[in-house]
């Protein structure tokens, strides 16, 4: 039996050192899951196969050290096949690592790219090893054909490592480290099989050094292979210029071989075939990638084009989508229905934008469910929607009414039901291809529907254009009216009844334009409110009114002035402070200024309204509730409001007698109600002596209206005040006989029969002839005097 030499024992010991590396790889495979687990298991299996084959081959070579050559060649072939199989397993595991390729198709591309480089290395190696070059000389393993198998695998490993260094996901050094370790193992497998086949102890020792080194590199690499990587599937980042290098190498090597007188054998032809096959297959895959990428780009383009024409919240078309649909429709049967939710801003402010989004999404669903085939619903922005219909304007008008009913139904949300109304405008196609004009007409109709009270459907009419132009001109000119001196104040007198002595005045704004002429307040005040100019105008009116009031008081006139207050001014920040500053500026006693709040302001948040009015009253001014009886305020609200004066709306004063058989019976009720609440009552809109008589009989002691004078310049009103002072010093004529009553007697109420089973309660003052009669009466509190200070 042959005693092993020190070199042989050193080689066997080196192979044993590879065993811990195999254990590390096996442990790593057990710790992972999914695709990473399979990759680590393949690496562990490949390392185990190569190590086992190397140990078996080295041990068998020691035993057969003095054996015959055929036995050594057989052993070398066995070791070559086994180690090649293990190396291929290692390469497969490397390609399956998370950082190597994003999918199997990418792994196949990497493998083909590696084959291109491997085939070039194979061909160049064949040229160098074969005659006439024969670079290895006498040590060329001519008899060991099996060595070509691990040599080919080693060439593939070198090529794959090169490709991974260029195309692996970042950070690439982890995957490249594993691939480099596998390449070292492949070289060791080639050296070991060749050393055993040729009986070369040096090659076996060289292999024994390389194998554990390569496996430890692989084991160290897989420990960091789980770090996050940056995946890029963009084909434009996949360089292919490397293919020219292996092709150039093959051309140079082949040319050299031919010029040196060499001949092409089957192994050289094999290398050329593998190169050609790999190139063609790689080109086929590249064309497939380009085709798939082009299809993906088309799909994405279509998707983003659809997104560009779709509202993301409701799934309806957006403005671009609506314009596209308008251009594609037959102009002869195009009708656009424009819709807007009334008061939706309050939903966002009070409930939050999340609830608002739920409401908008529900609006989109309701529109979809109530449209015909071919109709296009769109959300134009905010709470504005539109529906394009292939219908006549009359058909669209009916559809608009149906949609109005649907949209006014309650919206159920997690925060409770939401109640909204809507305004609808309908417009037909004015001309072929003119989509912008159609949308503008529908917007005009919608705007007109809102101006006429909302919650209604309006059809576009040509006169809306003139109204729009007029509105635009008024808004533009109104912005410069103050600086140009086009605004002025007139004062309508407020008189004491029954003496008709002026005790106050209401400041009214007038606008005279050099080209437009006298613009009525009912026209420019709404424009000011829509364009937020109302606060600027209100500030100017307050300043001018207080300045004029200061002049009247300085002249010795006993008078007060009232100024109308818009809801926007009332809710403006520090408006009470602004009023106080103006009063101090002109030295006006606060009780001489009355601020009139319309009854429509009561429809807003009651708590906030009361807080604002309390702030104003704290400055000393008086508050009047204007247009009482026109609509919104209730008795309960009136009791809570901190007001001083109740102004009866002129519609109650001018109520026709034919309804009840007597003039304005509600005036009596309102006067009594105001007196009961401790308020002074002022009847406005008195235009006839009969209306004055009714107001006086009801016990109202303040009146205003055309019967006593329209709005006049301040100097005219001052003349009236002067005349009233002069007449007060003249002898008072003897009054006609009245029933004897106590001057301080309280007012009473009288039951008046209006018909069978119908009665009316009216106020009876001490000055009434029927005061001391036998009628059924009840005492009430006497109203307090106003207008004197």
Better-scored residue on pLDDT, 331 or 737: 331
Per-residue pLDDT at 606 exceeds 90: no
pLDDT (average), residues 738-754: 41
Per-residue pLDDT at 409 exceeds 80: yes
Strand partners, 377: 387
* Per-residue model confidence (pLDDT) at position 17: 81
Q: Report pLDDT digits (tens) over 635-693.
A: 667 888 899 999 998 888 876 553 444 445 788 888 998 999 899 999 999 999 999 99
Per-residue pLDDT at 33 exceeds 50: yes
pLDDT (average), residues 284-310: 87
What confidence category does residue 103 fall into, taking pLDDT thresholds of 50, 70 and 90?
confident
Per-residue pLDDT at 777 exceeds 70: no
Q: Where does 452-520 have alpha helices with state H? A: 463-478
* Per-residue model confidence (pLDDT) at position 557: 93
Pairing of strands 702-704, 335-342: unpaired
Cα 645 to Cα 94: distance, rounded to the nearest angstrom: 92
Per-residue pLDDT at 613 exceeds 60: yes
pLDDT (average), residues 179-200: 89
Per-residue pLDDT at 155 exceeds 90: yes
Per-residue pLDDT at 170 exceeds 70: no
Torsion of CA 391, 393, 394, 399, to 10 degrees: 60
Structure tokens, 633 = 């305020």
* Per-residue model confidence (pLDDT) at position 560: 96
Max mean pLDDT range (369-373, 486-490, 598-602): 486-490
* Per-residue model confidence (pLDDT) at position 761: 42
* Per-residue model confidence (pLDDT) at position 232: 54
* Per-residue model confidence (pLDDT) at position 466: 85
* Per-residue model confidence (pLDDT) at position 787: 36
Better-scored residue on pLDDT, 518 or 763: 518
Mean pLDDT of the chain: 82
Per-residue pLDDT at 262 exceeds 60: yes
Contacts of 2 (CB under 8 A, 6+ apart): 62, 63, 65, 66
Lowest mean pLDDT segment, chosen from 134-143, 486-495, 705-714, 744-753: 744-753
Each as own residue / partner, the long-range contacts of residues 434-440 (CB below 8 Å, 24 or more positions apart, any chain) are 435/323, 435/326, 435/327, 438/326, 438/334, 438/336, 439/322, 439/323, 439/326, 439/336, 439/338, 439/386
Q: Report pLDDT digits (tens) over 444-458.
A: 999 889 888 889 999
Q: Report pLDDT digits (tens) over 692-726.
A: 999 999 999 999 999 999 999 999 999 999 998 88
pLDDT (average), residues 522-549: 92
Structure tokens, 15 = 């192979």
Per-residue pLDDT at 152 exceeds 90: yes
Lowest mean pLDDT segment, chosen from 280-289, 610-619, 622-631: 622-631
Structure tokens, 490 = 């007139």
Max mean pLDDT range (303-307, 338-342, 390-394): 338-342
Give the SS3 label for residue 458. strand
* Per-residue model confidence (pLDDT) at position 193: 87
Better-scored residue on pLDDT, 477 or 239: 477
Q: Report pLDDT digits (tens) over 201-214.
A: 888 888 888 999 99
pLDDT (average), residues 351-379: 92
* Per-residue model confidence (pLDDT) at position 385: 96
Cβ atoms < 10 Å from Cβ of 134: 13
pTM for this one? 0.54
Better-scored residue on pLDDT, 58 or 122: 122
Report phi then psi at 212, rounded to 5.
Answer: -65, -35
Cβ atoms < 10 Å from Cβ of 346: 13
* Per-residue model confidence (pLDDT) at position 84: 92
* Per-residue model confidence (pLDDT) at position 645: 94
C-alpha separations of 112 from 115, 253, 286, 647, 714 in Å: 5, 22, 11, 95, 100
pLDDT (average), residues 225-233: 55
Better-scored residue on pLDDT, 316 or 11: 316
Per-residue pLDDT at 769 exceeds 70: no
* Per-residue model confidence (pLDDT) at position 774: 39
Strand partners, 763: 749
* Per-residue model confidence (pLDDT) at position 773: 42
What confidence category does residue 264 fall into, taking pLDDT thresholds of 50, 70 and 90?
confident
Residue 164, judged by CB atoms within 10 A of its CB (0-12, 13-18, 19+), counts as buried
pLDDT (average), residues 515-523: 93
Better-scored residue on pLDDT, 737 or 439: 439
Pairing of strands 748-755, 777-779: antiparallel
């Amino acid at each position: 039996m042959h005693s092993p030499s020190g070199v042989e024992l050193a080689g066997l010991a080196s192979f044993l050192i590879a065993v811990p590396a195999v254990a590390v790889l096996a442990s790593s495979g057990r710790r992972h899951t999914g695709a990473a687990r399979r990759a680590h298991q393949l690496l562990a299996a490949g390392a185990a196969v190569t190590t086992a084959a190397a140990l078996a081959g080295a041990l068998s070579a020691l035993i057969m050290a003095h054996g015959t050559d055929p036995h050594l060649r057989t052993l070398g072939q066995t070791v070559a096949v086994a180690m090649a199989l293990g190396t291929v397993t290692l390469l497969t595991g490397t390609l399956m690592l998370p950082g190597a390729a994003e999918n199997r198709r990418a792994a196949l591309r990497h493998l083909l790219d590696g084959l291109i480089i491997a085939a070039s290395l194979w061909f160049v190696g064949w040229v160098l090893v074969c005659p006439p070059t024969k670079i290895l000389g006498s040590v060329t393993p001519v008899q060991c054909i099996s060595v070509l198998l691990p040599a080919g695998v080693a060439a593939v490993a070198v090529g794959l490592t090169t490709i991974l260094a260029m195309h692996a996901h970042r950070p690439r050094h982890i995957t490249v480290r594993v691939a480099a370790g596998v390449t070292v193992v492949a070289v060791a497998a080639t050296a070991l099989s060749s050393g055993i086949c040729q009986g070369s102890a040096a090659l076996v020792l060289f292999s024994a050094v390389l194998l554990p080194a390569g496996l430890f590199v692989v084991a160290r690499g897989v420990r960091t292979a789980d770090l996050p990587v940056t995946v890029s599937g963009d084909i434009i980042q996949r360089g292919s210029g490397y293919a020219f290098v292996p092709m150039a190498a093959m051309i140079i090597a082949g040319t050299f071989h031919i010029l040196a007188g060499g001949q092409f054998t089957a192994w050289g032809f094999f290398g050329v075939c593998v190169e050609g096959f790999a190139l063609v297959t790689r080109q086929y895959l590249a064309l497939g990638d380009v085709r798939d990428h082009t299809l993906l780009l088309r799909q994405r383009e279509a998707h983003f084009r659809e997104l560009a024409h779709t509202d993301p919240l409701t799934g309806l078309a957006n403005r671009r989508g609506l314009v596209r649909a308008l251009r594609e429709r037959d102009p002869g049967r195009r009708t656009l229905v424009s819709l807007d939710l009334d008061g939706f801003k309050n939903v966002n402010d009070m409930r939050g934008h999340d609830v608002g989004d739920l409401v908008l999404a529900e609006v989109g669903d309701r529109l979809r469910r109530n449209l015909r085939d071919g109709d296009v619903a769109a959300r134009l922005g905010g709470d504005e929607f539109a529906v394009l219909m292939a219908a006549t304007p009359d058909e669209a008008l009916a559809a608009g009414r149906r949609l109005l009913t649907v949209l006014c139904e309650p919206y159920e949300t997690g925060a409770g039901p939401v109640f909204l109304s809507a305004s609808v405008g309908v417009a037909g196609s004015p001309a072929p291809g003119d989509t912008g004009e159609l949308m503008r007409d529908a917007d005009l109709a919608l705007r007109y529907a809102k101006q006429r009270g909302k919650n209604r459907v309006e059809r576009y009419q040509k006169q809306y254009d003139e109204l729009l132009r007029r509105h635009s001109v008024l808004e533009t000119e109104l912005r410069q009216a103050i600086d140009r001196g086009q605004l002025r104040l007139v004062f309508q007198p407020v008189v004491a009844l029954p003496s008709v002595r002026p005790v106050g005045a209401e400041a009214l704004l007038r606008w005279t334009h050099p080209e437009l002429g006298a613009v009525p307040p009912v026209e420019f005040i709404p424009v000011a409110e829509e364009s937020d100019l109302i606060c600027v105008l209100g500030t100017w009116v307050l300043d001018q009114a207080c300045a004029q009031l200061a002049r009247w008081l300085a002249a010795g006139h006993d008078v007060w002035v009232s100024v109308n207050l818009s809801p926007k001014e009332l809710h403006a920040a520090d408006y009470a402070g602004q009023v106080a500053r103006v009063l101090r500026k002109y030295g006006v006693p606060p009780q001489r200024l009355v601020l009139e709040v319309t009854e429509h302001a009561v429809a807003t948040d009651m708590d906030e309204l009361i807080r604002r009015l309390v702030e104003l009253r704290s400055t000393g001014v008086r508050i009047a509730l204007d247009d009482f009886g026109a609509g919104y305020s209730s008795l309960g609200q009136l009791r809570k409001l901190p007001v001083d004066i109740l102004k009866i709306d002129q519609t109650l004063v001018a109520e026709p007698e034919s309804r009840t058989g007597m003039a304005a019976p509600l005036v009596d009720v309102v006067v009594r109600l105001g007196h009961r609440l401790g308020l002074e009552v002022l009847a406005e809109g008195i235009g006839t002596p009969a209306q004055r008589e009714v107001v006086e009989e009801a016990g109202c002691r303040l009146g205003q209206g055309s019967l006593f004078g329209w709005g006049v310049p301040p100097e005219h009103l001052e003349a009236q005040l002067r005349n009233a002072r002069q007449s007060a010093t003249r002898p008072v004529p003897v009054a006609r006989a009245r029933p004897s009553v106590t001057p301080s007697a309280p007012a009473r109420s009288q039951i008046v029969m209006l018909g069978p089973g119908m009665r009316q309660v009216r106020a009876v003052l001490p000055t009434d002839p029927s005061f001391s009669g036998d009628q059924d009466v009840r005492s009430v509190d006497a109203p307090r005097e106003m207008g004197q200070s």
